[in-house]
A and B are shown apart, each in its own frame.
Chain A
Amino acid sequence: MRPIQDHRHLLLRRRFLQLSGLASIGFLLDGCGSPLFEDLVYKASQPLNQSVEALLLNPQKLIPEFPASAIEPDALLINTFNFTPKIDHSTFRLSVNGAVNRPLSLSMADIQKSSLTSMTIRHVCVEGWAAIVQWGGVRLRDIIASAQPKANVRYVYFQSADGYYESWDIASALHPQTLLAYQKNGHPLSIDNGAPLRLASPIKLGYKQSKWITKITLVEHLLPAKTGYWEDQGYEWFAGL
Chain B
Amino acid sequence: MDSSAARKSRSQPTQALPAKIFHWVNITSLLLMIGSGLQIYNANPVFGGRGGWHFPPFFLLGGWLAGGRHWHFAAMWFFALNLLWYGVYIFITRRWQRRFLGANDIKALQVSQNPKRRNYAWHRFVYTAIIPILLLAIFTGLGMYKPAQFHWIVDIFGSWQALRIVHFITVPTVIIFAVIHSLLSLKVGGSCLIESMFW
Contact = CB atoms under 8 A, between A and B. Distances in A.
B62 interface: yes
Interface string B177-192: 0000000000000011
Question: Which of A16, A122, A127, A128 has the largest count of B CB atoms less than 10 A from its CB?
Answer: A128
Contacts of B73: 45, 49, 236
B49 A129 contact: yes
B133 interface: no
Contacts of A33: 39, 57-58, 60-63
A225 interface: no
A126 interface: yes
Nearest to A27: B31
A89 B154 CA distance: 38
A226 interface: no
Interface residue tally of chain B, by bracket? 35 or more
B160 interface: yes
Interface string A38-78: 11011011101100010011100001100000000000010
B35 A15 contact: no
A30 B70 contact: no
Contacts of A15: 195, 199
A138 interface: no
B71 A12 contact: no
Contacts of A12: 191-192, 195
A122 B70 contact: no
B57 A31 contact: yes
DSSP majority for the A interface? mixed
A16 B146 CA distance: 41
A153 interface: no
Nearest to B196: A12
B44 A234 contact: no
Contact of B60 (A19, A31, A57, A126): A31
B141 interface: no
A31 B146 contact: no
Contacts of B67: 35-36, 38-39, 41, 234
B70 A130 contact: no
Nearest to B164: A128
B64 interface: yes
A38 B71 contact: yes
Nearest to B62: A38
B69 A236 contact: yes
Interface in A105-123: 122
Interface in A126-144: 126-130
A16 B194 contact: yes
Contact of A122 (B43, B44, B64, B147): B147
A58 B149 contact: yes
A241 interface: yes
Interface in B23-64: 28, 31-32, 35, 39-41, 43-44, 46, 49-50, 57-64
Nearest to A38: B67
A128 B165 CA distance: 11
A127 B198 contact: no
Contacts of B49: 129
A233 interface: yes
Among A13, A33, A202, A236, residue most surrounded by chain B Cβ atoms (within 10 Å): A33
A107 to B, nearest CB: 32
A36 B63 contact: yes
Interface of B: 28, 31-32, 35, 39-41, 43-44, 46, 49-50, 57-71, 73-74, 77, 144, 146-149, 151, 154, 160, 164, 191-192, 194-195, 198-199
16 contacts: A12-B191, A15-B195, A26-B28, A30-B31, A31-B58, A31-B59, A31-B61, A33-B61, A36-B62, A38-B63, A63-B148, A122-B148, A122-B160, A128-B41, A236-B66, A240-B146
Given A41-B74, A128-B144, 9 more contacts: A13-B191, A15-B195, A30-B61, A32-B57, A35-B63, A36-B62, A128-B46, A241-B148, A241-B149
